[in-house]
Amino acid sequence: MYLGIDIGTSGTKTILIDARGKILAEAAASYPLYHPKPLWSEQDPDDWWQATVKTVRQVVEMARLKPTDVRAIGLSGQMHGSVFLNQRHQVIRRAILWNDQRTAAECEEMESRAGGRRQLIRMVANPALTGFTAPKILWLRNHEPRHFERVAKILLPKDEIRRRLTGDLATEVSDASGMLLLDVAKRRWSKPLLSKLELDIDLFATCYESEDVTGTLTRQTAAELGLSANCKVVGGAGDCAAGALGNGIVRRGLLSTSIGSSGVLFVHSDAPEVDPLGRLHTFCHAVRGKWHMMGVTLAAGASLQWFRDQLCQEMGEGSVAKVPNPKNMGRIKQGSAKSLYDRLTAEAAAVPVGSEGLFFLPYLAGERTPHADPDARGAWVGLTLAHGRGHLVRAILEGVTYALRDSLEIIRACGVPVRQIRASGGGSKSPFWRQLQADVLGKKVYDMMADEGPAYGVALLAAVGDGTFKNIEEACNACVRTAGETKPSPQAQRYYASAFPVYQGLYQSLKDDFKKIARLR
């Protein structure tokens, strides 16, 4: 059997699969997110570790496993986070996360040191963005020099968990791509860029392919988790690449959408294809010798969560009888009551297509694709006295889906084929949101038989690393299945095709004002 562990932003999820890819058990644990200043975002790595121990032990107990039953573990995690370790491999400060926006000046510094934006893209396939890891390292050097002087190693979130599991300092190419320090085409650290940034290559972990075994559990950790010290740990993948594996995005022509806290469009590529304007990310895929292009909107599900938490408290969560999901039958999992999200979505579904002229810009955390603008702000545009809560919610869902289409249009313009779209994440679990994706993106959208996100993808990588499958393509062909399809409504598709340029124009009209607002703040 194999474990997949995903160190997410809101919590850690662990799943157990057998050698045929069947999910046998799963558990999740949450932890806090810290915002010491506006647009800053941090977490304590010890919280990730406690959640890992808790969820692994829960899965082991639920499935009544013997220590030797689990042969290998795959790790996934939120990308771009920075874990700073001293010489004794102790955490120096809280990790700075992917959605932190403090590093605008450091992004300018990176491009200047590299010889300009185009030269930086030539070296690492991507421009400097505030969410990436390298600008965070420069920020630490510029603003917390006492901490920086103590730094001996810099790890990504999932790789900090690897260190605690095995004692090894290792990473892999898909997650390392998002540090903005990897020569993505050659799949190794970029010595020229590190030299220009005056960063020692020894600060960074050894870089593996995603299915490679990077170590085994220490005896102490194995005892703590109820596993064997012979249990292997494979390279794993960043959460976006891992989620794509769970959707079978391992060959040309396949694209996945994922709506969680952020929203991601992910397309497989056989070669390192780069958007010369740097609007899309080009990273190494978790498939050996392959790459992917990816667009990210920073506040997808997070926009709806913000609306629920800040403006809908009077509705309450409520509860109803738990209804079994046929997809989950035969699986060990805690049930959950119908959520407030379902009630809000039902209100949105009762509103006409287009929210009667109301638009929402989902830039509550700034924006990455296509604007790369940390000063972008969220906005409803077009409000009238005729609009109610259902209109506000529908406009949020439409705005997030328009943001995904921004990425799709760039992918098409780069000449990358898109033959099939597969949906995952929280947005895919809502039939209404799946229909909205089909209507706005203008193509059939397929949902997945097992939509367990990144944890499932890295569990499959663990099976590959243990030899159950010869490669991840074989694992996905054997284990990943689509469950159904959602066709676009011709009428809705026509409306959204005409409204999408209006949505795009709103940012262009407001971007200068966003910068003025940021300065006022």
- C-alpha 264/C-alpha 312 separation (Å) is 26
CB 283 within 8 A of CB 184: yes
| DSSP string across 440-507 | HHTS-EEEESS--THHHHHHHHHHHHTTSSSSHHHHHHHH--EEEEEPPPHHHHHHHHHHHHHHHHHH
* pLDDT for the residue 338: 52
- C-alpha 165/C-alpha 333 separation (Å) is 25
Catalytic (active site) residue 239: yes
What's the sign of the alpha-carbon dihedral 275, 281, 286, 289? positive
- C-alpha 135/C-alpha 167 separation (Å) is 27
* DSSP-based three-state secondary structure for 267: strand
Q: Where are the domains of the chain?
A: 2-249
* pLDDT for the residue 363: 97
* pLDDT for the residue 325: 37
**At a CB cut-off of 8 Å and minimum separation 6, what does 367 contact?**
297, 298, 373, 376, 403
For every one of its 521 residues, what pLDDT tens digit does the chain have, with 9 covering 90 and above?
A: 999 999 999 899 999 999 999 999 999 999 999 999 988 999 999 999 999 999 999 999 999 999 999 999 999 999 999 999 999 999 999 999 998 989 999 999 999 999 999 999 999 999 999 999 999 999 999 999 999 999 999 999 999 999 999 999 999 999 999 999 999 999 999 999 999 999 999 999 999 999 999 999 999 999 999 999 999 999 999 999 999 999 999 999 999 999 988 899 999 999 998 998 889 999 999 999 999 999 999 999 999 999 999 999 777 654 332 323 333 323 344 333 358 989 999 999 999 999 999 999 999 989 989 998 989 999 999 999 999 999 999 999 999 999 999 999 999 998 889 999 999 888 788 899 999 999 999 999 999 887 788 999 999 999 999 999 999 999 999 999 999 999 999 999 999 999 999 999 999 999 999 999 988 87
pTM over 0.85: yes
Give me the catalytic one of 239, 275, 373, 447: 239
* pLDDT for the residue 516: 95
Alpha carbon separation from 183 to 118, 134, 157, 195, 350 (Å, rounded): 14, 13, 20, 13, 49
* pLDDT for the residue 316: 63
CB count in 10 Å sphere of residue 296: 24
Which CATH superfamily hosts domain 2-249?
A: ATPase, nucleotide binding domain (3.30.420.40)
HSE-CB at 382 with a 13 A cutoff on CA atoms is 18
CB 287 within 8 A of CB 470: no
* pLDDT for the residue 286: 98
CB 133 within 8 A of CB 81: yes
